Chains A and B, each alone.
Chain A
Amino acid sequence: MPATVTTDQTDDGSLLRLGGGFSLADLTGLHATLMQAAALGPVTVDLTEVTRLDTAAAWAIAEAEKTAQAAGHSLRLVGATEGAAALIDTVRAALPDPDQQATPAFSLMVWLDGFGRSVAAGGVFLGQLLGILGVFIARLGRSLLHPSEFRLTSLVHHCQEVGLKAVPIVALMAFLIGVVLAFQGAAQLRQFGAEVFVVDLIAVSILRELGILLTAIIVAGRTASAFTAAIGSMKMREEIDAMRTLGIDPATALIVPRVLALLLMLPILGMIANAAGLLGGGLMSWIELGISPALFVSRLVENTGVSHLMVGMIKAPFFAIVIGIVGCHAGMQVGNNAESLGRQTSSAVVTAIFSVIVIDALFSIFFAQVGI
């Protein structure tokens, strides 16, 4: 039966007759009617015809009662069944105390406070990253002194995960980059009749910059997230705490093999990327510009100094350390819920890729200054 509310004006104020079964859908109308009546004068609420009173209707009555009392008149209930009266009592007892209401203040101070906190949090974050780096170096040194503590199986496993399994994607990516460079370079250089310089273009850009940078970006996306997810889910299930209680050092068991594996594998992946990039570039130059493989190789050997390769490869260990440290740190920051695992994983990827690009830029400035 649908809910009905009828209002009558009598000598002792308004009389509200409620009838039918109330549900949440009727609340808006009932609340407005009751509040209006309660603000005006004494109210009598007749519940005789009510078949079902829900908490929403009981709440509206209790709220109207409060309003009426605040305005200095009364609200009288008639015809309430035992159950309805008990429900209204329960609701009245549960009415939130308005004094407890937290009033969020929006002001310049709050904004400044938030800004200051995020700057400080940034500093703390850098400090924590340095802390993980320090722990890694300390535990690595310890492993050198006590080789029995070193986890070789774990290292080999991570080398496979980080290095071997990344070879196809890294090689394909670098091959395509070589193709694109040759294609774009050819279109520009042909205007000057200097097609043959495409070899220098490809070699310098791949060996110096793109090979290792793009490899690091792919590895950051693949591996930093994997590190965070693996360590984070262990953290979430209290496995890391269990390790500590069993006398296993989490840094030795989890961080050292992972970062070390990256440190060993990233230069190799970079070399593979360089080779695949040159191959792609060479192939495209042959098809598009008719530069034969023999010519490509001879120009490559004659005109491209080994310093370009060195400049590229020197960056690999720095990239590896940063990716590994960022991934492991984010894993250790995971709380005890799945949501923080997801948040940390995506932030690890973003932070790792961003750091790789920042480091690359710093190296470019450095090499430009020293003139290599």
Chain B
Amino acid sequence: MTVAPEQDPVIRLRGIRTQFGSHVVHDGLDLDVYRGEILGVVGGSGTGKSVLLRAIAGLLRPAEGEIEVLGTNVREAGEAERAALERRWGVMFQDGALFSSLNVRENVEVPMRAVEGLDPALRRAMADLKISMSGLPYLAGDKYPSELSGGMRKRAGLARALALDPEIVFLDEPTAGLDPIGAADFDTLIRQLSDTMGLTVFLVTHDLDTLHAICDRIAVLAEKKVLVTGTMDEMLKVDHPWVHDYFHGPRARAALAAKDAQKEG
């Protein structure tokens, strides 16, 4: 079930300018993310994909511009508004960013502790459910992050991001460092969760297979702004040199061939 993107932007960026000292990363960047879609953000190394994600999630403050998430202006929101907003989104960092002193279940329980009147036994059960929904075995809940493989840490990070049933999840390179089978499984998981939970997914990736397999729309970051947005088919027709090279390179062709073979098979 693919949710047709309704024209209802849950994330609205206007005129974003971020800079570190004199190094300008984004300048006049505009982007809309619609409810229920999976948006893939691509761009060369150093074009500020992760910086953009961090700016939207409120981890760094752009020098100029307007960031509106779920109708709240992130830059001007007060503390209470911010806290309410943070419960409506989840962030999965590249290596999971799990708290190393807590086991996986406790990690997933962390955001749930802020919910008043939730029975600890139920909280535990909900954490186990989220762990299981993220494709981890039940017994993984008792393990500590250092005992998990990279792929399992990512899944645990996703389980924590999904702990409060957010409306938006931000995923930073969800399939980086996974083997092709693990990456494909992770793609399927994201698609499935997005469909059943009605999630809007903002994902930063380099993985062309992910873009082909699950993204409804793709946004290309280049020249300090969002150069183009559109579906995969539209991307293939763009004649900007970088975009053309990206989507027509040997790896892109291989990913496309894999996608076609999957459709026929």
Contacts and interface: CB of A to CB of B under 8 A. Distances in A.
Interface residues of A, number: 31
Contacts of B117: 25, 28
B76 interface: no
A83 B138 contact: no
A56 interface: yes
A31 B132 CA distance: 19
Contacts of A101: 138
Given A94-B133, A339-B101, A83 B165 contact: no
Interface in B108-164: 112, 115-119, 122, 125-126, 128-130, 132-133, 137-139, 142, 145-146, 162, 164
Nearest to B195: A86
Contacts of A339: 100-101, 146
Interface in A252-301: none
A27 B196 contact: no
**Of A23, A25, A96, most B-chain CB atoms within 10 Å:** A96
B1 interface: yes
Contacts of A100: 137-139
A338 B197 CA distance: 35
Contacts of B145: 337
Contacts of B122: 27-28, 31
A145 interface: no
**Of B100, B119, B122, B128, most A-chain CB atoms within 10 Å:** B122
A85 to B, nearest CB: 10
A94 to B, nearest CB: 4
A337 B146 contact: yes
Contacts of A55: 126, 129-130, 133, 162, 165, 197
Interface in A216-243: none
19 contacts: A24-B115, A24-B126, A24-B164, A25-B117, A31-B119, A55-B133, A55-B162, A59-B125, A83-B198, A89-B196, A90-B196, A91-B133, A94-B132, A94-B133, A96-B128, A97-B138, A100-B137, A100-B138, A339-B101
